[in-house]
Structure 1
C-alpha cells in the first residue's frame, strides 16, 4: 500500500469505519440522524488522516489530524449514548472484554479487518453490548494513537520548523551561494 495507508492510525481508522457501518446497519435506525452522523464521524476520522498526509503545510496537516481526532471523540460519545439509553453496561478499562479487544493488532496486508471480527476477541458480536463496547474501546484506542501522532508531529515542527520555514532556509542558502 505505502504512505499513509501503512500508518497504524489509518489502519485503525479503516477498521473503525468498517465496523461502524456494520454496527449501524444492525442496530441503528437507517433513517435516523444518528445513523448518518455515526457513519459520517467514522468516515471523517479516516478521510482526514488521508487528506492530512497529502498536505504540504504543517499547520494544515496538524489541523486535519486534529479534526480526525475530534471525530473519534464524537463517535465514542455516540457509542456511549447507545449503551446508556439501552441500559447496557459501559465496560471499564479493566473489564476482560476490553483487555481482549486491546490486544487486537491491525493487519496491514488486507483491505479490511471485518472477517476477523470475532476471531481476535472471542466475543459474541451478535450482542449489541459487546459490539458497542468493542467500538467504544477502538475509539478510545484511536484517540490515544492520534494524540501520540499529533505530539510527534508537534515535536518535529518545533525542532525542524514547518514547510514555509524550510523553504525560506533553502532560498537563503541558494542566495548565499550566488554571492
Structure 2
C-alpha cells in the first residue's frame, strides 16, 4: 500500500543540519571566548544559531507531511543565520576589522 506521506529521512544526515550544528557549537565557543556573558548580544547570537539548527530539523520532520511547511521553516533557518552573520560582522566592524581579515 502506498503511503500518503513523503519518504522519511533522518535530518541528522543532512549536510545543512551538520553544518548548522557546527555553527551553533562555534558560536557558543566564540561568545564564551570573546564576549562578556552579560552582553545581550551573547543571548541573541546563541539563539540565532540554535534557531537555525532547530528549524532545519523541524522543517525536515514537517516536510514528511507538508512541503510548504518545510520550505517555510527552511527560510526561517536561513533568516536566523543571516541575523547571526550580521552579529559577527558587527563584532568585526566595531573592532576595526573587516570580513575575511580576522580580528585583533
* Coarse TM-score class (shorter-chain normalised): 0.7 to 0.9
- Superposed, 1:86-101 pairs within 5 Å as 86-91=95-100
Larger Rg, first or second structure (1 or 2): 1
CA distance in 1, matches of 2:85, 2:18: 18
Q: Could you state the TM-score of these two structures normalised by the residue count of structure 2? A: 0.84
Which residue of structure 2 lines up, in the alignment, with residue 15 of structure 1? 22
Contact 2:95-2:103 within 8 A present in 1 as well: no
Mapped pair 1:77 → 2:86: yes
Which residue of structure 1 lines up, in the alignment, with residue 37 of structure 2? 30
The alignment yields a C-alpha RMSD, in angstroms, of 1.7
How many residues end up aligned between the 2 structures?
A: 94
Which residue of structure 1 lines up, in the alignment, with residue 5 of structure 2? none
Q: Which runs of 5+ in 1 are unaligned?
A: 96-127, 131-179
Which residue of structure 2 lines up, in the alignment, with residue 129 of structure 1? 103
Query: 1:53 is paired with a residue of what secondary structure?
Result: helix
Mapped pair 1:58 → 2:32: no
- Superposed, 1:101-120 pairs within 5 Å as none
Q: Which runs of 5+ in 2 are unaligned?
A: 1-8
Q: Could you state the TM-score of these two structures normalised by the residue count of structure 1? A: 0.50
CA distance in 1, matches of 2:43, 2:15: 26
